[in-house]
Amino acid sequence: MYRVTEILTAVCLCLMLAHQAEAGSIVWSGVQDIEYPFVPPLDVNIDLDLNGVDDFMIRRGGVDAWAYSLVDGNEFFCTTDEEPDKYPPAARPESSGTLIAASPVAPKVWYDDTFEGYGQIMMHQGNGYWVGTDHQYMGVRFFGGSDLYYGWIEMSIEPDMPNPMTIHSWAYNSVPGEGLVAGVVPEPSSIALLLCGGLAVIGMHRRKRK
């Protein structure tokens, strides 16, 4: 009986520690794979924190696609262009592993201004930065109340005209002000794993006693 009590105590302690470690973890949408065709032109609204308020919009219009923020203060992770007189900072595709955080390294910047009323160009006339991308990421940051959160949106855009777009998933760090790595999603619940492990150890102990 003493060993069973000892095991249960250890499991409970591990559960408490795991709960504390998981607090403020990455919140992931799960696989969505939402496809947006060329026709008709449309606005794609994304509610990253699922609070009922749209945080960002990606506009499909003609053969162009623009990305811009819906809420004042929300911004895209962009790269300043080598030809600033030709294009504004643009939301370029980021690879898995890119750090999305408060202080980007130049030439990356946080950007929320508009370009002729449309915002950051993702692709232009079928040959821009995002054309032909496969599971690439757009870094974003947005306000939830007075708190600023960091996240990413995972997308693909087909290389052939009319360049249909797919939004695969999105995620954000629920700790205000803390960044996250593009493509990183929550691991299977450590609490569930600990429960299974604890029950298995107890079961083995009881069978041994019998």
Q: Quick one: pLDDT at residue 74? A: 92
Position 54 scores a pLDDT of 93
In terms of domains, do 46 and 66 share one? yes
What does the pLDDT read at residue 109? 87
pLDDT score for 208 = 47
Q: Are strands 34-36 and 165-173 parallel, antiparallel or unpaired?
A: antiparallel
Distance CA 135, CA 193 (A): 29
For the chain, 210 residues long, the average pLDDT of each consecutive 10-residue run is 46 38 71 82 86 87 74 86 66 92 88 68 70 93 93 90 87 96 80 46 46
Model confidence, pTM? 0.75
Q: Answer whether 130's CB lies under 8 Å from 65's CB.
A: yes
pLDDT of residue 131: 83
Q: What pLDDT is attached to residue 62? A: 59
Question: Are both 115 and 127 inside the same structural domain?
Answer: yes
Q: What are phi and psi of 94, to 5 degrees?
A: -110, 145
Same domain, 83 and 7: no
Q: Cα–Cα distance between 157 and 68 in angstroms, integer?
A: 17
Asked if residue 32 and residue 15 are part of one domain, the reply reads: no
- One domain for residues 2 and 37: no
| Residue where the block lists tokens 């009986």 | 1
Q: Could you tell me if 105 and 177 lie in one domain?
A: yes
Count up the domains in the chain and report the number: 2
Instruction: Tell me what pLDDT residue 203 has.
Output: 47
User: Domain check: are 100 and 133 in the same one?
Assistant: yes
Same-domain check for residues 19 and 95:
no
CA 191 to CA 199: how far, in whole Å?
A: 12
Please indicate, yes or no, whether residues 5 and 103 belong to a single structural domain of this protein: no
Q: Are residues 59 and 98 in the same domain?
A: yes
Eight-state DSSP code of residue 51: S
Other Cβ atoms less than 10 A from the Cβ of 170: the count is: 25
- Could you list the residue range(s) of the whole structural domain that residue 104 is in? 26-185
